[in-house]
Homo-oligomer: A and B are copies of this chain.
Amino acid sequence: MDLKIPSTGQKRLVIIGGGFGGIELTKRLKNQDIQVVMLDKHNYHCFQPLLYQVATGGLEPGSIAYPLRKFMQDIPNGIFRLAEVRNIDAVNQKIHTDIGDLNYDYLVIATGSTTNFFKFSKEVSGKMMQMKDIPQALNLRSFILENFEEALLTYDESKKEELINISIVGGGPTGVELAGALGEMRKNILPKDYPEIDFTKMQIHLFESGDRLLGAMHPENSAKVLKYVKDFGVEVWLNTMVTDFDGDVLTTADGKKVKCETLIWTAGVKGNPVEGFAPETIAGGNRISVDEYCKIKGYENIYAIGDVASMVQEKYPKGHPMVAPVAIQQGELVADNILAQLKGKAPKPFVYFDKGSMATVGRNKAVMEAKGIKMGGFIAWLAWLFVHVMSLVGFRNKITVTLGWLYNYFTYDRTLRLIIRPFKHKEE
């Protein structure tokens, strides 16, 4: 059945995904002579870089989510549909979704990425926690808190160890920031919440298969972050692959065994393409091969942007990093290129402007680097706060995140330790 969409006589662009790329692209096409239809399986935009704060009770989901319909209120030529895309029929220029079919004149795939569990079986990866969207972050929050509750009940010291230990796999920004937040909780909050548990016995492990944390940053910053994380009592294992997990104990390639029920996998992401493209279109990391205009190779009117797109350029032989600034800049570019295509003009190639990168580890500590400048400590931390608040969509979210952080900073607290939807012992 065809999806009900008002016809405006304009050409129709369909954007699949309301992430950083999708919303930037839409903004740029505001009031242009083209109908913009955005599809997303959620009705909100999620600010993924702060998901770890939702998982650790520092922020409410509503502070990092922004309703896509509210965003669309400002786009008179925009339409939103809550839909999960099944596949693309490029021959007939049609998209099949769970709510019906839809024709397009132009199509942009902006579906982002999902967790990459690599060779782990579903059985093993199903026991690991992940943190790519809000429901997953809330599940993680519930899971950790439920484990502490359970730890209070057992007389078995080995089981208690399993329940309170937490392992994080992956020493990128997500792993590092999460380790810092958990280290902070262990120090300032958990001993007060659970006075019956001896938190000096709680282990937080951070596993990284490479030889340093934050492999994408300068080695000096890696060293700084390693120190920050260790200052929080996190046990860091470099050059260490996690090879198995049975829900109670993880095993590393060198035979080490660590007891933990909570294993958070942040060690990889992969593109999340939609079905319907020729197999040769899919490049490494399950991303869609695009040319320098973000056009999918072999298609005239289909683009891909952000995490799901892989554009090989001289400085980026494996494609660009899977971060928000790439998605935003490609969103801008593709808006311009589609308008150019509509008018029969030449498209512009993508030039990535790298604004630098940053990561924080608990209060007052962060690292950042941009244009050859490297910085750590308090100033970098303030910069981290500022950049993240300003990147949030919506005035209300900027304010609630700022105030939430001020509160957490001065009280050394994170008050959102709520098990609203039990994960471990499902209630409903």
A positions within 8 Å CB-CB of B:
3-4, 6, 42-44, 60-63, 65-67, 69-70, 73, 79, 81-82, 99-100, 134-135, 138, 145-146, 149, 152-155, 192-194, 196, 394, 396-397, 399-400, 403-404, 407, 411, 413, 415-421, 427-428
Contacting pair B419 A43 (CB below 8 A): yes
Q: A411 — which chain B residues lie within 8 A by C-beta?
A: 396
Contact for A415 among B99, B134, B394, B415, CB less than 8 A? B394
Contacting pair B420 A134 (CB below 8 A): yes
Minimal Cβ-Cβ distance residue in B for A194: B69
Considering the chains assembled together, what is the distance between the CA atoms of A425 and B79 in angstroms? 22
Contact for A403 among B44, B403, B417, CB less than 8 A? B403
Contacting pair A69 B417 (CB below 8 A): yes
Q: List 11 A-B contacts (CB under 8 A).
A: A4-B154, A4-B155, A61-B420, A69-B193, A70-B415, A73-B192, A79-B196, A134-B420, A135-B427, A394-B415, A396-B415
A145, chain B: closest CB distance, angstroms: 7
A254, chain B: closest CB distance, angstroms: 35
Considering the chains assembled together, what is the distance between the CA atoms of A69 and B419 in angstroms? 12
Minimal Cβ-Cβ distance residue in B for A61: B420
* Copies of the polypeptide in the assembly: 2
Q: A6 — which chain B residues lie within 8 A by C-beta?
A: 196
Considering the chains assembled together, what is the distance between the CA atoms of A43 and B154 in angstroms? 19
Contacting pair A43 B153 (CB below 8 A): no
Considering the chains assembled together, what is the distance between the CA atoms of A134 and B192 in angstroms? 25
Contact for A99 among B153, B196, B394, CB less than 8 A? B153
Contacting pair A62 B4 (CB below 8 A): no
Q: A145 — which chain B residues lie within 8 A by C-beta?
A: 43
Contacting pair A415 B152 (CB below 8 A): no
Contact for A138 among B60, B154, B399, B420, CB less than 8 A? B420
Considering the chains assembled together, what is the distance between the CA atoms of A135 and B421 in angstroms? 7
Considering the chains assembled together, what is the distance between the CA atoms of A411 and B399 in angstroms? 14
Considering the chains assembled together, what is the distance between the CA atoms of A416 and B420 in angstroms? 17
Interface-central residue, A145, A411, A420, A428, by most chain B CB under 10 Å: A420
Contacting pair A153 B70 (CB below 8 A): no
Contact for A152 among B4, B196, B417, CB less than 8 A? B4
Given A62-B415, A418-B61, A428-B135, does the pair A193, B153 have CB atoms closer than 8 Å?
Answer: no
Given A73-B192, A407-B399, A428-B135, does the pair A418, B149 have CB atoms closer than 8 Å?
Answer: no
Supply 13 further A-B pairs (C-beta < 8 A) apart from A43-B417, A62-B62. Answer: A4-B153, A4-B154, A44-B419, A60-B61, A65-B420, A67-B418, A69-B417, A73-B193, A79-B196, A82-B419, A135-B427, A394-B415, A400-B404
Q: A419 — which chain B residues lie within 8 A by C-beta?
A: 42-44, 82
Considering the chains assembled together, what is the distance between the CA atoms of A397 and B407 in angstroms? 11
